[in-house]
Amino acid sequence: MNEQLQLKESIKILILGAGTGGTIMANRLRRRFPGNKASVTVVDQDEQHIYQPGLLFIPFGIYQPDEIVRPRSHQLHKGIDYIQSVIKRVIPDEDVVELADGRTLGYDLLVVASGTRLLLDETEGLSSSGWLKTMFDFYTMEGASALRGAMEQFEAGTLVINIVDMPIKCPVAPIEFAFLADWYFHQKGVRDKVQIKFVTPLDGAFTRPVASKALNGMLEDKGIELITEFSTGEVDGEQGKLISFDERSVEFDLLVSIPVHGGAAFIDDSEGLGDELGFVVTDLHTLQARCKDNIFAIGDAANLPTSKAGSVTHFEADVLVDNIERFLAGQPMEREFDGHANCFIETGFNKGLLIDFNYEVEPVPGKFPFAGIGPLPLLKESRINHIGKLMFHWFYWHLLLPGLPLPGVPSDMSLSGKQIPESD
């Protein structure tokens, strides 16, 4: 197949999704294959590109909705075609994508960048009459905006942040919400009247033991109750109660739910493309889909065992553009993604943490990005980390989406400046 592609005058590259991953890849591939070497087409179902890290701040009044939304098509470089349509399915054996409006799109190379969606109906009672009244999410604009009103009116009672199941996008965001809620209610002068509970199916606050231990301690110091290994089976909105599969219960007056996440609906309808959760079955290192050699996946759409976060998508793009170029040239794909993730964690009171890790290396203390200099401390609260979190808003629109490198942050995780514990 690669020999046939090399004989073509112009390669048809099709990208499904115009979020973070799809936009970065479209812009980088357009730059990598200028002129008539390739056509680049992007498909998404709407025109709203939301800066998703900003949704966390909407309930606390730190951002307004219009500050984090821009048109999708405006983020794509000249020479990229944008099609607005719901995607029906991919037919890998025919190199075709069917759209819901009846059109079909052929491709030589396909990049799936369709992100995740919230599956409220997977949890009994979650989408009942109490939804967006006493139960909310902050992973959607609708949920975050409605939650803002509820937070403004909340003066006393029990606030519960509940992760229903993993994986989720931006896995540190629920912890950030708990920390920001502690700060928010202190600012309102009612913190002593509000109980905050963090309820998770994990055995700690985070998926990685070193970071989890640090975050567990911070939750305790802030008076936030941590309830672990709680597998949510049912939500009773009328009674204000979470019920686990082992029949434990947690009562709430206000529930912030992180529902079950799944891949885009069209992946379920595309034979051989996805796993049982609707995420594309993807090689951990090359980012090539397992079902067909001319299909690749990036970002939240892939079933990789790393965080579903914007930084991960950025690092993946570095690898994926090189691998696609080599694949189209009929050469072995030499670049390997190492699972690199880099996440700021807001902790309230104008402070934040930073963690940096990959498939093999835990988040550990140290300095980032330069050994001994930093200036960002790892796994330690600081004001500069909080500033870094807020500055990322600008970097997102002006560097990350256009496909430009982030200064001092390589795609492969560096061990420089990190306090790696010695092996036993």
Q: How far apart are CA 22 and CA 106, in angstroms?
A: 18
How confident is the model at residue 369, as a pLDDT?
87
> What is the spatial distance between Cα 108 and Cα 97, in angstroms, rounded to a whole number?
11
Residue 199 vs residues 59, 205, 239, 378: alpha-carbon distances, Å: 19, 9, 18, 25
Rounded Cα distance, 317 and 315, in Å:
5
Q: What tokens appear for 297 in the block?
A: 């996946």
For position 393, what pLDDT does the model report? 95
- pLDDT at position 328 is 95
Residue 7 pLDDT? 46
* Inter-CA distances, 82 with 93, 125, 320, 391, 399, Å: 24, 38, 21, 29, 21
- Tell me whether domains 2-115+264-328 and 120-260 share a fold: yes
The domain locations on the chain are 2-115+264-328, 120-260, 339-424
266, two tokens: 């069209």
CB half-sphere exposure, 156, CA atoms < 13 A:
2
The CATH class that applies to domain 120-260 reads: alpha beta
At 233 the pLDDT is 96
Q: Could you count the other beta carbons within 10 Å of the beta carbon of residue 50?
A: 18
Q: Which single residue is written with the structure tokens 């992760």?
A: 163
Tokens of 249: 């219960």
3-state secondary structure of 218: helix
Architecture of the domain made up of 2-115+264-328: 3-Layer(bba) Sandwich (3.50)
Q: What is the DSSP string of 4-54?
A: HHHH-SSEEEEEE--SHHHHHHHHHHHHHS-TTSEEEEEEES-SEEE-GGG
Q: Which residues of the chain have a pLDDT value below 50?
A: 7, 424
